[in-house]
Chains A and B, each alone.
Chain A
Amino acid sequence: MYAIFRDGGQGVANTADSGAARSLSVSDRNIRTGDLVIVYESPQAMKAVTITENGRYDNRFGNFAMKDWIGKPYGSKVYGKGGKGWVTLLEPTPELWTLVLRHRTQILYIADISMICFNLELKPGHVVLESGTGSASLTHSLARAVAPGGHVYTYEFHKERADEARKELEAHRLQLVVTVTHRDIMALGFPVLNTASAVKGQPVISAAPPLSSTAMEVLAASAPEVMRLEDEGATVNPCNEVVSEADAAAQLSIYHDGNVDAIFLDLPGPWKVVENAARCLKPNGRFCSFSPCIEQVQRTSEELRRHGFTDMHTVEVLLREYEVSAERLYECSRSTGRDVTVHEPGSLQLRNISNADENTLLLQDEAAPLQERENLKEEQDHAGSYDDAKMTPRIRNHIDSPRGVEVDTASKADSQSHKRRRTEEHGHDDEAASCLEAHGPAHVNLKATRGPKAALEDTKTLSFHTTSVLCRPCVKARGHTGYLIFARKFV
């Protein structure tokens, strides 16, 4: 629900349709005071800010007054004073939030988050338990999946983090969909009333508030088997308080006996919670545990088998990123029967210039504006900047070492011809661009070029190259995040 950070669970949980109506009208796609906005400069530089009347946002591209942003639609480019450039204002989504949030703990990323939401078969109306909350990266995605009508109960054993998560979720207007509780799940398990042989040796609901007699009556009517409390040494504290039905329901709502659709665990010792989890889940309910180490996976699987789970499967998922660029590939010359080598002047050699020495120049070839432009594709979705001091082309996401195009200058003739080409850049751009438009990026773009040296040596030799858009996997990739164990409660 894209309005999750704005109307959030509030509008939608109360009256399902009016919330939807609000979020669908045109004006709601505009920025308002108090909204959370993602300020986008580049894939590596994004920041979440809250709009205030007098707020300012300053970065290297300019000084921005937030009041200029109010009323603009999300997705707008806005320009700062100082005329140096622009930033783009995006509407927050759980995915964007995962990329900009402040890490209090190691977080889950999109590959795992999406697998979890999908494999737990979440949909609006479901109830899901999560432990631990951590930085609430996954929590936002869970909230989106189960709202409206559903609920996320998330537990965090670290008190400050629990408080911070709660505040954050309130700021994102999700407090009706998500309940953050401070509780040590590995020690106590999720709160359940039927504590018969629950987490071994521990009274499960010692931290729970007392149950009113109204609530006890409701329990007796709806779940009589849970009433064998004294026998099992449970420590429910019935008190003789009579409360309203709504309050009784609220008291009982924190207990999860058999009414949970899905459970997610991100704990160091998830096997300790398996039995308790089995108690919370509805039959056919789904379980997921995320563990970085295979030993944890093994122990958890063993426990799952022992406690009535079936359909266990363990997977790892990663999103492998590809980078896209327009590259020039040279062809063999046919006219003279000689191979045209790539070392002739005017050719390009790709090298990592992180240790570039001073003698290598960053040169441009006739079609280089197009080429470089493509290699610097991330530049294009950067904020605009006319700062000449920023010279080194930056590379696609997550790769730190810069890569550039450089040519070993072979002869003086080259540098002169290169200078000539540089001043004619605009013209060449038009040429390159018109080629692009004429043939489209997909098509082979045969463009005869004459390397100057070739021109000197042999006027009959033409070097042909084709410029195509190519993709390849990124060099730097994530190796491992963790194993996801999925299981279903046998029914």
Chain B
Amino acid sequence: MDDNCMIREGDSIIFDERGEKMSFMKVKASGKVKVGKLTLSMQPFVGAPFGAMFEVSADGKEFQRLKRPPGEEVTNVLDTERDNSNLLDRNTDNQKLSHDEIEALKQSGKSGSEIIAELCNNSATFESKTEFSQDKYKRKKAKKYMIHVTLRKPTARAICQAYYDKGPQRVFNLRFDSLAAMLSLANIGAGGTALVIDNCMGVVLGAVMERMGGHGIVCNAHVDMAYSCDVIKSMNFTEKERSVLFSSSVGSLKKAFQEQVSKLEAGVTLHSNQCITEEAEPVASCMEDSKLSEPTLATSTSDACDHGRTANGVLPTVPGTVPSVDNNFQAVNTSCTEVALIDAGMASLKTASTSKTHSGSSTGAAAPCLLKLGSAGFSSCILAAPRMNPTSLMSQVLPLLAPSAAFVLYSPWSQPLAECMHQLQTSKSAVLLQLHESWMRPHQVLPMRTHPEMMCSGTGGYILSGIKVCTSDGSTPLTGDSLYSSKPSSIHTLGAGATECAPDCTKNLPGRKRGRKNY
């Protein structure tokens, strides 16, 4: 499978400005991008490879491609004798060049490195600084006077990292190492069937779809209101990669499953194979037939900017509301292309809302796609909707999972997950239950200056993972077994817990409890 590595007209990128500012952008030859006070053409971006670095030309008129990675000349510090005993901090007095003189330098067309050289020469303290300090000074100035931009590929990792750095509250502090662990613990892989509830802008959903690579099923579920999943529109998914996605409410899924189960029990065989041929079809129809509560950007109605590459996104339910199309991580940077995208997005949303009528039967929505699933249930599950109480959410979602399915819940708070874990343990619905926090420490690695970074992230959220098991021997998961059935015996003593499973067990006598001394 050939991964596209050149930027084409209409592709999305993450525009990384100086490593400080990140924004989603659609590349158009005729488009313009704003960098600081300058507005420059995007023309050089089209046809450049993903990951290409550009710098603003000395005259500030255009982007120039960088041939070598910047900053590769790292000072190998030789002299370690100097120290800062004689340096006095006199704020801006140490720099002899005035602000106006520096501006003049910039205007005169001198390159960034020349300006920095001038600044160093005119600094009263530069020579007496230690070499480490000189290096740091130069790097700091480089960041300021040399504008480097990188056109990053919008992969799940890059997006998650960008959101965590620039807008963590919108993703509930989901850090990329936590997301990485979630994908592994939930056994996300191509060909599997994944149930995802994502209230983190679609970052989780996008990561799952990326791993699916067009094989399997990803169900974007919600309980009441559909969540905004804008991110997946900006990941350059191909038609095939998008085809795995369908969305539904949890209630619809349950109904549909129960229908499948009753059909099975009635002896109707399911021919999942025949659905495979209509792969592209059912997904689109699923999305069109679904309730009005889930307006989507159908693949056929492409907006003006889109060249068949918009992903299907699930937009907020309330008809008439403005979808939170937020292509930037920071304050809105309205480049012309983005505005066009938003307008077009709005237009197609309106079309979707008005043309789709409320579908009477909720099961009609998910049915064609669920035929693929059979009645086995999902094989993986990621729940990243921290505003929902995990315990109650799991009680709804657990029956939809196949036995031996791996599930993961994410929350920035540990307590709700602890309570959910406790409930799952006492009801014996899952094994290998683990509550984790991912700890990550970045390091600065430079010659003679290697140490952990001074600034570090304090939290990446908590992860509850487990594997669902059959509640009783051999039964299918959807025969109405309530997760939290209030049969006293199921919550009780350890010995009694076995009675429902081992009919031949006669040892459940008082006083003879597992794990307790007799006295």
Partners in one complex: yes
Report whether B515 and A16 are in contact in the complex, using a CB–CB cutoff of 8 Å: no
With A77-B501, A126-B3 already in contact, 16 other A-B pairs whose C-beta atoms are closer than 8 Å: A17-B215, A24-B374, A76-B473, A89-B404, A115-B180, A144-B190, A148-B190, A148-B215, A305-B74, A308-B68, A317-B439, A326-B422, A362-B516, A380-B428, A381-B430, A433-B492
Docked complex Cα distance between A373 and B491 (Å): 10
Judged by a CB distance under 8 angstroms, whether B355 is at the interface is no
Residues of A within 8 A of B168 (CB): none
Report whether A90 and B404 are in contact in the complex, using a CB–CB cutoff of 8 Å: yes
Report whether B419 and A469 are in contact in the complex, using a CB–CB cutoff of 8 Å: yes
**Residues of A at under 8 Å CB distance from B?**
1-4, 7, 12, 16-21, 23-26, 28-29, 40, 43, 72-79, 83, 85-86, 88-91, 93-95, 110-111, 113-115, 117-119, 121, 123-126, 141, 144-145, 147-150, 261, 282-284, 294, 297-298, 301-302, 305-306, 308-310, 312-326, 361-362, 364, 369, 372-374, 376-377, 379-381, 384-388, 390-394, 397, 422-423, 425-426, 429-430, 433-434, 436-437, 440-442, 469-471, 473, 483, 485, 488, 490-491
**Residues of B at under 8 Å CB distance from A?**
1-3, 5, 49-53, 68-70, 72, 74, 153, 155-158, 176-177, 179-181, 183-185, 187, 189-193, 207, 210-217, 264, 270, 272-273, 276, 279, 372-376, 379-380, 391, 402-406, 414-419, 421-423, 425-426, 428, 430-447, 450, 462, 467-470, 472-474, 476, 486, 488, 491-495, 497-498, 501-502, 504-505, 507-508, 510-519
Report whether B191 and A1 are in contact in the complex, using a CB–CB cutoff of 8 Å: yes
Task: Tell me the smallest distance from the CB of A222 to a CB of chain B, in Å.
Answer: 14
Report whether B191 and A23 are in contact in the complex, using a CB–CB cutoff of 8 Å: yes
B69, B214, B432, B512: the one contacting A308 at CB < 8 Å is: B69
Report whether A117 and B391 are in contact in the complex, using a CB–CB cutoff of 8 Å: no
Subset of 15 A-B contacts with CB under 8 Å: A2-B187, A77-B473, A115-B181, A125-B1, A141-B184, A313-B442, A315-B440, A322-B436, A373-B493, A380-B425, A392-B515, A429-B493, A433-B488, A441-B426, A470-B418
Report whether A386 and B495 are in contact in the complex, using a CB–CB cutoff of 8 Å: yes
Residues of A within 8 A of B472 (CB): 77
Query: Considering the complex of A and B, which 9 residue pairs feature the smallest CB-CB distances, nearest first?
Result: A75-B403, A125-B1, A124-B213, A75-B404, A118-B180, A1-B189, A284-B51, A74-B404, A471-B418
Task: Tell me the smallest distance from the CB of A480 to a CB of chain B, in Å.
Answer: 10
Task: Tell me the smallest distance from the CB of B350 to a CB of chain A, in Å.
Answer: 34
Report whether B422 and A118 are in contact in the complex, using a CB–CB cutoff of 8 Å: no
Report whether B1 and A149 are in contact in the complex, using a CB–CB cutoff of 8 Å: yes
Task: Tell me the smallest distance from the CB of B174 to a CB of chain A, in Å.
Answer: 12
Report whether B501 and A384 are in contact in the complex, using a CB–CB cutoff of 8 Å: yes
Given A75-B469, A314-B442: A94 and B187 within 8 A (CB)?
A: yes
Residues of B within 8 A of A21 (CB): 272-273, 276, 372
Given A73-B403, A149-B213: A321 and B184 within 8 A (CB)?
A: no
Q: Closest A residue to B462 by CB, please name it.
A: A322
Task: Tell me the smallest distance from the CB of A377 to a CB of chain B, in Å.
Answer: 5
Task: Tell me the smallest distance from the CB of A57 to a CB of chain B, in Å.
Answer: 16
Given A2-B187, A88-B431, A320-B438: A372 and B515 within 8 A (CB)?
A: yes
Q: Closest A residue to B214 by CB, please name it.
A: A124
Given A386-B507, A488-B51: A125 and B439 within 8 A (CB)?
A: no
Report whether A491 and B52 are in contact in the complex, using a CB–CB cutoff of 8 Å: yes
Docked complex Cα distance between A85 and B497 (Å): 11
Docked complex Cα distance between A26 and B472 (Å): 18
Docked complex Cα distance between A373 and B439 (Å): 30
Report whether A114 and B210 are in contact in the complex, using a CB–CB cutoff of 8 Å: no
Report whether B215 and A117 are in contact in the complex, using a CB–CB cutoff of 8 Å: no
A26, A148, A284, A297: the one contacting B191 at CB < 8 Å is: A148
Docked complex Cα distance between A394 and B515 (Å): 8
Docked complex Cα distance between A161 and B265 (Å): 49
Report whether A362 and B517 are in contact in the complex, using a CB–CB cutoff of 8 Å: yes
Residues of A within 8 A of B191 (CB): 1-3, 7, 12, 19-20, 23, 147-148
Task: Tell me the smallest distance from the CB of B9 to a CB of chain A, in Å.
Answer: 19
A17, A118, A391: the one contacting B176 at CB < 8 Å is: A118
Report whether B211 and A73 are in contact in the complex, using a CB–CB cutoff of 8 Å: no
Residues of B within 8 A of A434 (CB): 488
Docked complex Cα distance between A79 and B216 (Å): 33
Report whether B372 and A24 are in contact in the complex, using a CB–CB cutoff of 8 Å: yes
Report whether B432 and A322 are in contact in the complex, using a CB–CB cutoff of 8 Å: no
Report whether B406 and A115 are in contact in the complex, using a CB–CB cutoff of 8 Å: no
Docked complex Cα distance between A85 and B474 (Å): 16
Docked complex Cα distance between A314 and B505 (Å): 55
B415, B418, B474: the one contacting A76 at CB < 8 Å is: B474
Given A40-B432, A93-B187, A119-B180: A124 and B215 within 8 A (CB)?
A: yes
Report whether B473 and A437 are in contact in the complex, using a CB–CB cutoff of 8 Å: no
Report whether A79 and B1 are in contact in the complex, using a CB–CB cutoff of 8 Å: no
Residues of A within 8 A of B435 (CB): 321-324, 471
Report whether B504 and A83 are in contact in the complex, using a CB–CB cutoff of 8 Å: yes
Report whether B494 and A29 are in contact in the complex, using a CB–CB cutoff of 8 Å: no
Report whether A118 and B470 are in contact in the complex, using a CB–CB cutoff of 8 Å: no
Given A386-B505, A426-B510, A483-B443: A118 and B189 within 8 A (CB)?
A: no
Report whether B514 and A387 are in contact in the complex, using a CB–CB cutoff of 8 Å: yes
